[in-house]
Structure 1
Amino acid sequence: MNLNKNEWTPQKPLNSGFGPRTTAAEALGDVDLKGKVAIITGGYSGLGLETARVLAGAGAQIIVPARTPEKAKAALASVPGAELEMLDLMDPASIDAFAERFLRSERPLHILVNSAGVMASEEAYDGRGFEQQFAVNHLGHFQLTARLWPALQAAEGARVVSVSSKGHRLGGIDFDDLFFQNKPYRKWAAYAQSKTANALFALELDRRGQSAGVRAFSVHPGSILTDLARHLSDEELQAMGAINEQGQRGFTSYNEEQKTVPEGAATIVWCAVSPMLDGKGGVYCENADIARTVEPGQEGQPNQAGVSPWATDPESAARLWSVSERLTGVKFEI
């Protein structure tokens, strides 16, 4: 991977030649990952599992941390040579312990995919009093990436991929009330700010890390029916067109937004390995390309393609970084 330093990547499409029907295997192409090491949170189900399979098929050594490793074991039988580890993203001690075990192996980390997440869950808080979706989707991955930083640097050309969502279009981050202490909890607002945080984290991580050869990207995979939708009711899924003619959870057809799992994993894989992105980073991507910024007046319309300005704002990214350091007590050794 290219170590070009101190470069700013415009938030506009590259015209990659890919699109919404591109699969993860097609996005990988003929990239050879022998000798590369990849950690994929959430790599035992849905998009994470497909990402793990495709990267392993290209020769990468895959490490999958899971909160309940025994439940993940059967799924990972389909990923050659995968290593299964214990990790609970809501438990700071568990994050540190996992990172310490990996660092003791003295292996470089070439690819980190922060894919595990919670979507539209009922109101819940971790032991620190942090709202669950923000704690898992952003703060847990912030701490994990920080703890793994020495291994990312050692790769001399690493990539960090944060799985965001078009759900960020529902709203930005409320820095004055992150955890709904002064307003009623709304599950989609909580999800939106956690997914905005994923994009802003990638932006600031790339700015800070590129001189060390670490580039970062955020990804909207599309709408895919996976275990992530477990908190949604049938009524909510029906409104999304996600109840099929048999009354089961499933799309009746697929469009540019609604995708199969192999199609949903395509942009994750593309950001993790594509030579098209050598020397680039800090951008939000969809459909295996860099996304466009939405037009003024369309920011809150989640059905439109593109990324909202509040998810690509450098000042917000820097502010989120500072807030995340304070909340977790963790700093990057950059």
Structure 2
Amino acid sequence: MPRSPKPFSIPNLRKDNPQFNPFDVLQRDVEEPEPGPERKPAPHKTALHFVWYGTGKPNDANTKTPKAIASGFASATVYFWCLPQMAPEFERALGKRVKVHGLDEVLEAPVVRKELGALLLDKLDQLLAFYLANKGHAPAKDILTFLTLGVNGGYFLDANCVIEDRQQFEKMLAQPPKVPTFLKLEDSLTFNAKHPSFMKDEFALQMGMEEDPTDELTQLNGTDMWAMYAPSRHPMMWTIARHYITRAEAFGFCGAPVQPKSLRSQLRNTFTDAEFAQQKRTLAGALGIQSIFSGMVEHMRRHAQYRPEDANWKVDSVKNGQVEGSGRALSLASAKADYWVEELGITKGHGDSWTK
């Protein structure tokens, strides 16, 4: 039986149409898919932290600035850290745009356990218990801020800071520093890099100054702790935290038993018997400043290119709503401000929020 002829032949079809492509059938009558929605890259977000260690209720002094930044700056993710039992109240007061977390999340973070180790963690627990028992809420906030930035990275601001220059603040959110950055006051301090147990004088121990001409001294700008920045997990923040706990032990706030009439007992008693909150804040503030200096000194030794005098932010004082020296007039919101940080575009005003 003869074979039936082939229905078509590709060579014959190519004779009639040199452009013939047998695979064109796969594309015939196929509808083009509708274009999907245009995807824009997510805006850059920089973490901005507020730390509240105390049982004071939410009020304008501790909620106004976090709420204003969260609602007014799309490039900032605002976090508010507080005692776990206070979180529900602050969540209601701050609204959904501010992320409220308990400080226990920081203290229980695996990286904190890894970096501090069991011994320092035990001393940290004693230190926080000491602060709570003696109404040292603001002093406790300092060490918790160092740990919060060590874990998460980002900016930290006191709750009574005011955004004075929106464009400058946006710029700092968009282009954060590459290294931990602190406030740089105009005055300078001579800092003793020795372990504090070597010190024999109460004032020298408190201020971290020299004891004798052979001491190793480092001169750095004075600083304060109401604004700072750190990249996440930066080693300098763990160095600062370790120094803080070690120096708190030298102050008699944790660790070994305090011997009567010793330097440790004198400083411990100065804190526990302080009549005013400002006395507690000043004494514990020395701890924070010494710890920051220690971190900067160690980082300078490891990294020759690190220059804190260049990296840190300059702070000018404010009087009657004007920046001293430049005559720059500030807004009414900063009429009672104490300080102006040009790089950040912020001022810090009066307020007793840290005493509650």
- Which band: TM-score by shorter chain? 0.3 to 0.5
Question: Which one has the largest radius of gyration?
Answer: 2
Would you tell me which structure has more strand in proportion to its own residues?
A: 2
Query: Which protein, 1 or 2, shows the higher relative CO under an 8 Å CA cutoff with sep ≥ 6?
Result: 1
Would you tell me which structure has more helix in proportion to its own residues?
A: 2
